[in-house]
Chain A
């Protein structure tokens, strides 16, 4: 997009709330991407005649957690409304949602951007129910659609941001931040691929510097953060090109086609849809008393942005490291607990051991930090052993793998495998001497002025010690002895 235009983007986010039972009936919430069809359905969520909704308390509580985390004003009375439209995945012919008086309004969150922190407004947070799942089969005359209602009535949270986002980076970071908050609050696992989290940007462009509102386009079908970025870039370019050519952007909903890498018009028939919202007569108003709100507020965990700030300001980490640590609540909590347990290592070193070797291990073996057979204390102990020189870094990495495999304490593993670092100056001196004596040619090279041969000796000696030699002491001993050989030569 040319620099002449500015992007104006807001997000509409739908998150499945991972409660035990559905929004308005007690059917279990199951993973509809791989469950047998129509096994988690009852007359209520199948929209059978005479059935009535009864609201799930946990769904309200989950939504309140998010609304409070997003600094929203909570409406003490909110109203459910029927949103009417016909589609085979919508059993009642209307979706129970919130319209005129949503659960919460007027919030904000701060997100990091290259040009500093950005405050993004939250327009509303409300509750609604999910639809069933359609599978389209066959070709030509054999085309048909199958309806599975396992997902029908699953509780959804809708978050609508203000159009405060003006770069692709900001959109991405906002989406990440919302996802991260919901994961922290244990409301939603953040899985875009399975559709548990659906991020739908509304996008328009305007002349840079203008405050005018332009026609927006909504994009659906984004199954990954990568798709979100690609779709944004594509759509911004498309709109700029269109306007440059003297055209006008049409208000519409587009679907992102990941394979083609472009947006496609969706539901052309529904252009003039009129949802005929009215208050749901089967549900009393949702009254949220102050006491309940205060209780939920008091139980809110420290949120990622606050944690990040604390890690930078109080713990002394770089913003980058802090960002890596807070992305997952479990990681941040692991760091916090380990921080309380270290004696010799410092916070920076601990952070590096988490974002380095530990993340590598998790990625390689597909572990989550919660599923590791060891907790933050043994990990702190391991890092402390490195800090004090009891073991070296490469031994520590192999101890870490073993800890992950069998859950044993680092001290035990170090002892059992004899990994304790050789730190006695006498032993190190003897080791250096042995290696130097065996390799007269390389000694000659060093004496002749090739300083880099020192590294070769270091490698040989480390190998000979099975990696246990204290590297600093070893390097020092080698240098002293080789320099002595050089001095001797020069003197003769």
Chain B
């Protein structure tokens, strides 16, 4: 399945990835190639096959509702690119 330029723009927006025009052109071709390869899966009949996820199921692994300690705030904020008043600071959401 070949991707259009519009498809690439849309996916990049969904993934919040800024791509240069050159990257978009390259990805359009590479992604189309990969998808063509992946299309081999469509030939398999999986009508009665259940979907598999990763692990072997051994239970829901619920945790008892006991509150523990939060992390020291400085450990949380020490990696912040920008901060103010003990919070992470980001540019505004512009409409």
When distances are taken between beta carbons in the complex, the residues of chain A under 8 Å from B67 are 20-21, 26-29
> Which residues from 254 to 299 on chain A have a C-beta closer than 8 Å to any C-beta of chain B?
267-269, 274, 276, 279, 281, 283-287
Q: Place the interface of chain B in its size category.
A: 20 to 34
Interface residues as binary, B5-36 with A (CB distance below 8 Å gives 1, 0 otherwise): 00000000010100000000000000000000
Complex CA–CA separation, A281 to B73 (angstroms) = 29
Closest 10 CB pairs of A and B: A58-B65, A26-B68, A57-B62, A146-B87, A28-B67, A147-B88, A143-B92, A21-B67, A20-B67, A54-B63
Complex CA–CA separation, A283 to B62 (angstroms) = 10
Contact partner of A287 (CB less than 8 A), chosen from B14, B60, B76, is B60
Complex CA–CA separation, A276 to B59 (angstroms) = 26
Query: In this assembly, does B95 line the interface, its C-beta being within 8 Å of a C-beta of chain A?
Result: yes
When distances are taken between beta carbons in the complex, the residues of chain A under 8 Å from B66 are 20-21, 26
Complex CA–CA separation, A125 to B14 (angstroms) = 28
- Which of chain B's residues has its CB closest to A286's CB? B60
11 A-B contacts (beta carbon < 8 Å): A20-B65, A26-B63, A41-B73, A55-B61, A59-B65, A143-B91, A144-B84, A145-B92, A146-B90, A147-B88, A147-B90
- Which of chain B's residues has its CB closest to A143's CB? B92
Contact partner of B87 (CB less than 8 A), chosen from A46, A148, A268, is A148
Chain B residues within 8 Å of A, Cβ to Cβ = 14, 16, 53-55, 57-68, 70-71, 73, 76-77, 84-93, 95
Q: How far is the CB of B17 from chain A (nearest CB, A)?
A: 11
> Which residues from 131 to 155 on chain A have a C-beta closer than 8 Å to any C-beta of chain B?
135-136, 138, 143-149
Interface residues as binary, A75-93 with B (CB distance below 8 Å gives 1, 0 otherwise): 0000000000011100000
When distances are taken between beta carbons in the complex, the residues of chain B under 8 Å from A160 are none
* A276–B14 touching, CB < 8 Å: yes
Q: How far is the CB of A433 from chain B (nearest CB, A)?
A: 72
* B63–A57 touching, CB < 8 Å: yes
Complex CA–CA separation, A136 to B55 (angstroms) = 42
